[in-house]
Amino acid sequence: MASAAIVAQPLRLPSLLPRLSLPTLLQAPSAWSHSLRQFTHPLLPRLAIVIPAVQLNIPAWLGDIWESILRAVPKKKTTHSKKRSRLMAGKALKDVTSLCKCPGCGQVKRQHVLCPHCMEQIKTMWRSENPSGKFV
Amino acid sequence: MAGGVVKYRHLSRNSAARQALLRGLVTSLVAHEHIHTTWAKAKEAQRLAEKLITLAKRDNAATRSKAQAILYTPHDLLPKLFGELRNRYLNRPGGYTRVLRTEPRNTYDQAPSAILEFVDGPRDMRFMITAKAVARAQVHGVSRLNELTKKNVAKVTRYRQDGTEGFDKLVQSFRDKLRISKKKGGQAEVSEADS
Ligand SMILES: [Zn+2]
Protein backbone atom coordinates (compact mmCIF):
# COMPACT_ATOMS: atom_id res chain seq x y z
CA MET A 1 0.00 0.00 0.00
CA ALA A 2 2.52 2.50 1.12
CA SER A 3 5.06 1.45 -1.51
CA ALA A 4 2.47 1.90 -4.25
CA ALA A 5 1.78 5.41 -3.05
CA ILE A 6 5.46 6.24 -2.93
CA VAL A 7 6.15 5.02 -6.44
CA ALA A 8 3.07 6.63 -7.94
CA GLN A 9 3.51 10.06 -6.47
CA PRO A 10 6.68 11.30 -8.16
CA LEU A 11 5.58 9.82 -11.48
CA ARG A 12 2.18 11.37 -11.52
CA LEU A 13 3.01 14.84 -10.33
CA PRO A 14 5.05 16.13 -13.30
CA SER A 15 2.31 15.15 -15.73
CA LEU A 16 -0.30 16.95 -13.67
CA LEU A 17 1.77 20.09 -13.39
CA PRO A 18 3.97 20.04 -16.47
CA ARG A 19 4.96 23.69 -16.31
CA LEU A 20 5.93 23.62 -12.67
CA SER A 21 7.38 20.13 -12.71
CA LEU A 22 11.02 20.92 -12.03
CA PRO A 23 10.66 23.69 -9.48
CA THR A 24 7.91 21.94 -7.54
CA LEU A 25 9.85 18.70 -7.49
CA LEU A 26 12.88 20.48 -6.22
CA GLN A 27 11.25 22.78 -3.74
CA ALA A 28 9.05 20.11 -2.24
CA PRO A 29 11.52 17.30 -1.33
CA SER A 30 11.91 18.23 2.32
CA ALA A 31 8.17 17.86 2.93
CA TRP A 32 7.95 14.67 0.85
CA SER A 33 10.87 12.95 2.37
CA HIS A 34 9.52 13.76 5.75
CA SER A 35 6.18 12.12 4.98
CA LEU A 36 7.89 9.21 3.22
CA ARG A 37 10.03 8.46 6.22
CA GLN A 38 6.95 8.44 8.39
CA PHE A 39 5.16 5.98 6.10
CA THR A 40 7.98 3.67 5.14
CA HIS A 41 9.96 3.30 8.30
CA PRO A 42 7.84 0.78 10.25
CA LEU A 43 6.63 -1.37 7.38
CA LEU A 44 9.31 -1.66 4.70
CA PRO A 45 12.83 -1.07 5.95
CA ARG A 46 14.55 -2.12 2.69
CA LEU A 47 12.57 0.21 0.50
CA ALA A 48 12.92 2.97 3.03
CA ILE A 49 16.67 3.05 2.49
CA VAL A 50 16.49 3.08 -1.31
CA ILE A 51 13.68 5.47 -2.00
CA PRO A 52 14.54 8.29 0.39
CA ALA A 53 18.08 8.12 -0.97
CA VAL A 54 16.77 8.70 -4.52
CA GLN A 55 14.44 11.40 -3.36
CA LEU A 56 17.11 13.21 -1.39
CA ASN A 57 20.13 12.80 -3.66
CA ILE A 58 18.79 14.29 -6.88
CA PRO A 59 17.24 17.40 -5.43
CA ALA A 60 20.32 18.08 -3.35
CA TRP A 61 22.58 17.79 -6.38
CA LEU A 62 20.31 19.76 -8.76
CA GLY A 63 19.13 22.16 -6.11
CA ASP A 64 22.51 23.82 -5.77
CA ILE A 65 22.71 24.49 -9.52
CA TRP A 66 19.13 25.63 -9.52
CA GLU A 67 19.73 28.24 -6.89
CA SER A 68 23.11 29.48 -8.10
CA ILE A 69 23.08 29.24 -11.92
CA LEU A 70 19.70 28.40 -13.37
CA ARG A 71 18.03 31.07 -11.30
CA ALA A 72 20.52 33.77 -12.41
CA VAL A 73 18.13 35.61 -14.71
CA PRO A 74 16.91 39.21 -14.69
CA LYS A 75 14.25 39.80 -12.10
CA LYS A 76 12.39 42.41 -14.16
CA LYS A 77 11.75 43.07 -17.82
CA THR A 78 13.91 45.94 -19.08
CA THR A 79 11.63 48.91 -19.63
CA HIS A 80 11.16 50.46 -23.06
CA SER A 81 12.76 53.68 -21.91
CA LYS A 82 15.76 51.91 -20.42
CA LYS A 83 16.31 49.83 -23.56
CA ARG A 84 15.96 52.78 -25.93
CA SER A 85 18.31 54.97 -23.93
CA ARG A 86 20.88 52.16 -23.87
CA LEU A 87 20.63 51.56 -27.64
CA MET A 88 20.59 55.23 -28.55
CA ALA A 89 23.50 56.18 -26.31
CA GLY A 90 25.93 58.35 -28.26
CA LYS A 91 23.55 58.68 -31.21
CA ALA A 92 21.85 61.92 -30.23
CA LEU A 93 21.19 64.64 -32.83
CA LYS A 94 24.09 67.00 -33.33
CA ASP A 95 23.87 70.77 -33.15
CA VAL A 96 23.90 72.56 -36.49
CA THR A 97 26.72 75.07 -36.25
CA SER A 98 27.38 75.79 -39.93
CA LEU A 99 25.00 78.71 -40.25
CA CYS A 100 25.22 81.99 -42.10
CA LYS A 101 23.13 85.02 -42.93
CA CYS A 102 21.13 84.83 -46.14
CA PRO A 103 22.32 87.57 -48.50
CA GLY A 104 18.85 87.66 -50.05
CA CYS A 105 16.73 88.26 -46.95
CA GLY A 106 19.06 88.57 -43.96
CA GLN A 107 17.69 85.61 -42.05
CA VAL A 108 19.82 82.80 -40.69
CA LYS A 109 20.20 79.84 -43.02
CA ARG A 110 22.39 76.75 -43.30
CA GLN A 111 25.58 77.09 -45.30
CA HIS A 112 25.62 75.46 -48.76
CA VAL A 113 21.82 75.10 -48.60
CA LEU A 114 19.29 77.38 -50.28
CA CYS A 115 17.44 79.77 -47.99
CA PRO A 116 13.92 78.30 -47.62
CA HIS A 117 12.31 81.75 -47.29
CA CYS A 118 13.86 83.15 -50.45
CA MET A 119 13.12 79.89 -52.25
CA GLU A 120 9.47 80.04 -51.25
CA GLN A 121 9.16 83.66 -52.36
CA ILE A 122 10.72 82.91 -55.75
CA LYS A 123 8.56 79.82 -56.21
CA THR A 124 5.43 81.88 -55.52
CA MET A 125 6.56 84.38 -58.14
CA TRP A 126 7.07 81.58 -60.65
CA ARG A 127 3.73 80.00 -59.82
CA SER A 128 1.87 83.23 -60.48
CA GLU A 129 3.86 83.64 -63.71
CA ASN A 130 3.19 80.14 -65.08
CA PRO A 131 0.71 78.11 -63.01
CA SER A 132 1.14 74.93 -65.08
CA GLY A 133 4.90 74.93 -64.53
CA LYS A 134 5.47 73.49 -68.00
CA PHE A 135 7.65 74.98 -70.67
CA VAL A 136 6.80 73.08 -73.82
CA MET B 1 29.24 47.48 -53.59
CA ALA B 2 31.62 45.72 -51.27
CA GLY B 3 35.17 45.74 -52.52
CA GLY B 4 34.54 47.59 -55.76
CA VAL B 5 34.57 51.19 -56.83
CA VAL B 6 30.99 52.42 -57.13
CA LYS B 7 30.57 54.01 -60.54
CA TYR B 8 27.08 55.32 -59.94
CA ARG B 9 24.44 55.35 -57.23
CA HIS B 10 22.20 52.29 -57.37
CA LEU B 11 19.33 54.16 -55.68
CA SER B 12 18.10 50.87 -54.13
CA ARG B 13 16.79 49.68 -57.47
CA ASN B 14 17.68 47.14 -60.08
CA SER B 15 18.92 48.33 -63.42
CA ALA B 16 15.54 48.55 -65.13
CA ALA B 17 13.84 50.40 -62.29
CA ARG B 18 16.75 52.80 -61.95
CA GLN B 19 16.75 53.53 -65.66
CA ALA B 20 13.00 54.12 -65.58
CA LEU B 21 13.34 56.47 -62.61
CA LEU B 22 16.10 58.51 -64.22
CA ARG B 23 14.24 58.72 -67.52
CA GLY B 24 11.21 59.99 -65.67
CA LEU B 25 13.22 62.59 -63.78
CA VAL B 26 14.95 63.82 -66.94
CA THR B 27 11.67 63.97 -68.86
CA SER B 28 10.21 66.12 -66.07
CA LEU B 29 13.31 68.27 -66.07
CA VAL B 30 13.04 68.98 -69.77
CA ALA B 31 9.34 69.77 -69.46
CA HIS B 32 9.49 71.89 -66.28
CA GLU B 33 13.05 73.29 -66.45
CA HIS B 34 13.63 72.35 -62.81
CA ILE B 35 12.80 69.47 -60.45
CA HIS B 36 12.89 69.14 -56.68
CA THR B 37 13.92 65.65 -55.52
CA THR B 38 16.38 63.93 -53.20
CA TRP B 39 19.97 64.97 -53.56
CA ALA B 40 21.18 61.52 -54.69
CA LYS B 41 18.49 61.27 -57.37
CA ALA B 42 19.25 64.81 -58.52
CA LYS B 43 22.94 64.00 -58.91
CA GLU B 44 22.20 60.84 -60.90
CA ALA B 45 19.59 62.55 -63.07
CA GLN B 46 22.11 65.32 -63.67
CA ARG B 47 24.46 62.89 -65.43
CA LEU B 48 21.73 61.72 -67.79
CA ALA B 49 20.50 65.27 -68.41
CA GLU B 50 23.96 66.47 -69.36
CA LYS B 51 24.29 63.57 -71.78
CA LEU B 52 20.90 64.40 -73.26
CA ILE B 53 21.96 68.00 -73.93
CA THR B 54 25.18 66.77 -75.51
CA LEU B 55 23.07 64.60 -77.82
CA ALA B 56 20.97 67.63 -78.67
CA LYS B 57 24.03 69.72 -79.46
CA ARG B 58 25.42 67.08 -81.82
CA ASP B 59 22.06 66.87 -83.61
CA ASN B 60 22.07 64.09 -86.20
CA ALA B 61 19.90 61.08 -86.92
CA ALA B 62 21.72 58.87 -84.43
CA THR B 63 21.55 61.36 -81.59
CA ARG B 64 17.91 62.05 -82.31
CA SER B 65 16.99 58.41 -81.92
CA LYS B 66 19.08 58.17 -78.75
CA ALA B 67 17.37 61.21 -77.27
CA GLN B 68 14.02 59.75 -78.23
CA ALA B 69 14.95 56.62 -76.30
CA ILE B 70 15.64 58.66 -73.15
CA LEU B 71 12.55 60.88 -73.05
CA TYR B 72 9.18 59.38 -72.11
CA THR B 73 7.20 61.91 -74.13
CA PRO B 74 9.47 62.55 -77.11
CA HIS B 75 6.64 63.91 -79.24
CA ASP B 76 6.20 66.89 -76.95
CA LEU B 77 9.77 67.37 -75.88
CA LEU B 78 12.06 66.54 -78.81
CA PRO B 79 11.28 69.83 -80.65
CA LYS B 80 12.11 71.75 -77.49
CA LEU B 81 15.29 69.75 -76.87
CA PHE B 82 16.63 70.15 -80.38
CA GLY B 83 15.39 73.72 -80.70
CA GLU B 84 15.32 75.88 -77.60
CA LEU B 85 17.65 73.91 -75.35
CA ARG B 86 20.16 73.22 -78.10
CA ASN B 87 20.41 76.91 -78.97
CA ARG B 88 20.65 77.90 -75.33
CA TYR B 89 23.69 75.71 -74.71
CA LEU B 90 25.45 75.91 -78.05
CA ASN B 91 28.21 78.17 -76.71
CA ARG B 92 28.45 76.63 -73.26
CA PRO B 93 31.19 74.00 -72.89
CA GLY B 94 29.35 71.60 -70.60
CA GLY B 95 27.69 72.24 -67.25
CA TYR B 96 24.15 72.70 -68.53
CA THR B 97 22.49 71.74 -65.27
CA ARG B 98 22.89 72.71 -61.64
CA VAL B 99 22.10 70.92 -58.37
CA LEU B 100 21.34 73.12 -55.37
CA ARG B 101 20.88 71.61 -51.95
CA THR B 102 17.68 72.55 -50.16
CA GLU B 103 16.18 71.99 -46.74
CA PRO B 104 14.27 68.67 -46.42
CA ARG B 105 11.08 68.71 -48.45
CA ASN B 106 8.74 67.89 -45.57
CA THR B 107 8.72 67.07 -41.88
CA TYR B 108 8.44 63.33 -42.37
CA ASP B 109 10.86 62.79 -45.23
CA GLN B 110 14.07 64.23 -43.85
CA ALA B 111 16.16 62.95 -46.74
CA PRO B 112 18.69 65.44 -48.10
CA SER B 113 16.93 67.11 -50.99
CA ALA B 114 18.01 69.26 -53.88
CA ILE B 115 16.81 71.19 -56.89
CA LEU B 116 18.03 70.08 -60.32
CA GLU B 117 17.67 72.90 -62.84
CA PHE B 118 18.72 73.92 -66.31
CA VAL B 119 21.27 76.71 -66.18
CA ASP B 120 20.14 79.98 -67.79
CA GLY B 121 16.58 78.72 -68.18
CA PRO B 122 13.38 80.39 -66.99
CA ARG B 123 13.55 78.45 -63.70
CA ASP B 124 17.14 79.24 -62.75
CA MET B 125 17.04 79.47 -58.95
CA ARG B 126 20.61 80.70 -58.57
CA PHE B 127 19.93 83.51 -61.03
CA MET B 128 16.92 84.61 -58.96
CA ILE B 129 18.59 84.34 -55.56
CA THR B 130 21.70 86.18 -56.72
CA ALA B 131 19.52 88.96 -58.07
CA LYS B 132 17.72 89.10 -54.74
CA ALA B 133 21.00 89.30 -52.85
CA VAL B 134 22.24 92.12 -55.07
CA ALA B 135 18.94 93.97 -54.67
CA ARG B 136 19.11 93.70 -50.90
CA ALA B 137 22.70 94.96 -50.87
CA GLN B 138 21.66 97.98 -52.95
CA VAL B 139 18.63 98.76 -50.80
CA HIS B 140 20.71 98.57 -47.63
CA GLY B 141 23.37 100.79 -49.18
CA VAL B 142 26.11 98.17 -49.16
CA SER B 143 28.58 99.33 -51.82
CA ARG B 144 30.83 96.25 -51.91
CA LEU B 145 29.19 92.95 -52.73
CA ASN B 146 30.04 89.71 -50.96
CA GLU B 147 32.81 87.81 -52.79
CA LEU B 148 30.54 84.81 -53.29
CA THR B 149 27.72 86.98 -54.63
CA LYS B 150 30.14 88.60 -57.07
CA LYS B 151 31.23 85.19 -58.29
CA ASN B 152 27.62 84.10 -58.64
CA VAL B 153 26.73 87.20 -60.65
CA ALA B 154 29.55 86.41 -63.06
CA LYS B 155 28.50 82.75 -63.33
CA VAL B 156 24.86 83.52 -63.83
CA THR B 157 25.28 86.16 -66.53
CA ARG B 158 28.25 84.73 -68.44
CA TYR B 159 26.56 82.61 -71.11
CA ARG B 160 22.98 83.81 -70.70
CA GLN B 161 21.44 85.56 -73.66
CA ASP B 162 21.08 89.23 -72.66
CA GLY B 163 22.35 88.07 -69.31
CA THR B 164 23.44 91.37 -67.84
CA GLU B 165 20.31 93.26 -68.94
CA GLY B 166 18.01 90.54 -67.73
CA PHE B 167 19.83 90.37 -64.44
CA ASP B 168 19.68 94.14 -63.90
CA LYS B 169 15.97 94.14 -64.70
CA LEU B 170 15.38 91.39 -62.16
CA VAL B 171 17.44 93.22 -59.53
CA GLN B 172 15.33 96.31 -60.16
CA SER B 173 12.08 94.39 -59.65
CA PHE B 174 13.40 92.88 -56.40
CA ARG B 175 14.48 96.34 -55.25
CA ASP B 176 11.00 97.73 -55.89
CA LYS B 177 9.48 94.89 -53.87
CA LEU B 178 11.89 95.49 -51.01
CA ARG B 179 11.26 99.25 -51.02
CA ILE B 180 7.49 98.74 -50.89
CA SER B 181 7.75 96.30 -48.01
CA LYS B 182 10.20 98.61 -46.22
CA LYS B 183 7.73 101.52 -46.43
CA LYS B 184 4.83 99.34 -45.34
CA GLY B 185 6.51 97.57 -42.45
CA GLY B 186 8.82 100.33 -41.23
CA GLN B 187 11.36 97.69 -40.34
CA ALA B 188 12.78 96.10 -43.44
CA GLU B 189 13.84 92.82 -41.90
CA VAL B 190 10.45 92.01 -40.40
CA SER B 191 8.48 92.71 -43.54
CA GLU B 192 10.97 90.79 -45.65
CA ALA B 193 10.43 87.78 -43.48
CA ASP B 194 6.70 88.02 -44.12
CA SER B 195 6.94 88.50 -47.85
ZN1 LIG C 1 16.78 84.23 -47.64
- Cβ atoms B57, B90 nearer than 8 A: yes
CA of A95 to nearest chain B CA: how many angstroms apart?
Answer: 16
- Cβ atoms A115, A104 nearer than 8 A: yes
Would the CA dihedral through A44, A49, A50, A54 be positive or negative?
positive
pLDDT tens over chain A, length 136 residues: 444 444 444 444 444 444 544 444 445 444 454 544 554 455 555 555 555 555 555 566 677 777 777 777 888 999 999 999 999 999 999 999 999 999 999 999 999 999 999 999 999 999 999 999 999 8
CA of A26 to nearest chain B CA: how many angstroms apart?
Answer: 55
Smallest CA–CA distance from B75 into chain A, residue: A136
Section B155-173 average pLDDT:
94
Smallest CA–CA distance from A134 into chain B, residue: B32
Give B4's pLDDT tier (boundaries 50, 70, 90). Answer: confident
Q: What residue ranges do the domains of chain A occupy?
A: 2-69, 99-129
CB-based contacts of A130: which residues, under 8 Å, 6+ apart? Answer: B122
Least Cα distance to A103 among B128, B57, B181 occurs for B128
Helix (H) or strand (E) holding B4: none
ipTM above 0.90, yes or no: no
For B30-42, how does the pLDDT look when each residue is reduced to its tens digit (9 = 90+)?
Answer: 999 999 999 999 9
- CA end-to-end span of chain A, whole Å? 104
Beta bridge partners of A109: A100
Q: What residue ranges do the domains of chain B occupy?
A: 15-118, 125-185
- Cβ atoms B113, B92 nearer than 8 A: no
Beta bridge partners of B118: B97
For B55-87, how does the pLDDT look when each residue is reduced to its tens digit (9 = 90+)?
Answer: 999 999 999 999 999 999 999 999 999 999 999
Q: What is the pLDDT of residue B183?
A: 79
Q: What is the pLDDT of residue B142?
A: 87
For B91-139, how does the pLDDT look when each residue is reduced to its tens digit (9 = 90+)?
Answer: 999 999 999 999 999 999 999 999 999 999 999 999 999 999 999 999 9
A103 and B76 within 8 Å at the Cβ level: the answer is no
Section B41-54 average pLDDT:
97
Neighbours of ion ligand 1 (CB under 5 A): A 102, 104-105, 115, 117-118
- The answer to whether domain B15-118 has CATH 1.25.60.10 is no
Cα of B37 vs its chain's centroid, Å = 12
Nearest-CB residue to B129 (from A122, A130, A134): A122
Nearest-CB residue to B133 (from A103, A112, A116): A103
- Residues listed for chain A: 136
User: Rounded to whole angstroms, what are the CA distances from B61 to A15, A22, A55, B88, B149?
Assistant: 87, 85, 97, 20, 42
Residue with the bigger pLDDT between B189 and A78: it is A78
* Contacts A–B by Cβ distance under 8 A: 64
Section B182-190 average pLDDT:
62
